[in-house]
Amino acid sequence: MTDDLLAALRPLLVAEASAEAHAAGTEPGDLEQAVWLRLLEHLEADGPPRDPGNWLRRAVRSEARRTRRTVSVERPYGPEPAEDSERGPEPMALAAARERALREAVRRLPGRCPRLLEALLSPRDLTYREIAGELGISQGSLGPERSRCLGCLRRLLAPEVAARQARG
């Protein structure tokens, strides 16, 4: 039953998401993914919707509105401060050591976290769209995936960077 429902709704979802995505400022695939998640939550909680087509149309529009609200509140980061070109050898050596430690810690992370964080740390300054294409995942999945990976990195680095305090 569920497989038939999903197969029947797929063409409608693709069409609706394609129609709404541009105005919402998102990719159709990201919108589709969000609606599939809502449908799975609905199936788990209440079973199949009475009118699946109507439910799907409303869900697409609702997700598009949510995305538009999110995009309208997000603000880009300000420009980074200019680097101090007059740095001496000691600060440069310390910065290089921190960079090496970070890269080593990133390589020890589980799953696809190393590839994701390497892409984020890349000197090429890739956009989310480019990173998603490079990793073969949805652009909408990057934020949550990045958060999980950074949490793993924090836990991994916590013992190494913990502030040393006098004991006793």
The crossing angle, in degrees rounded to 10, of helices 113-121 and 128-135 is: 140
Predicted local confidence at residue 160, as pLDDT = 65
Contacts of 8 (CB under 8 A, 6+ apart): 52
pLDDT at 157: 81
Taking the model in full, what pTM does it have? 0.46
For the chain, list the domains and their CATH numbers. 2-72 (no CATH), 103-161 (1.10.10.10)
Pull the structure tokens for residue 161.
Answer: 């960077």
Per-residue pLDDT of the chain (168 residues; tens, 9 = 90+): 578 888 889 999 999 999 998 888 888 999 999 999 999 899 889 988 999 999 999 999 999 999 888 877 777 777 666 555 556 788 888 888 888 988 898 999 998 899 999 998 888 888 888 898 888 888 888 888 999 999 888 888 877 665 555 554
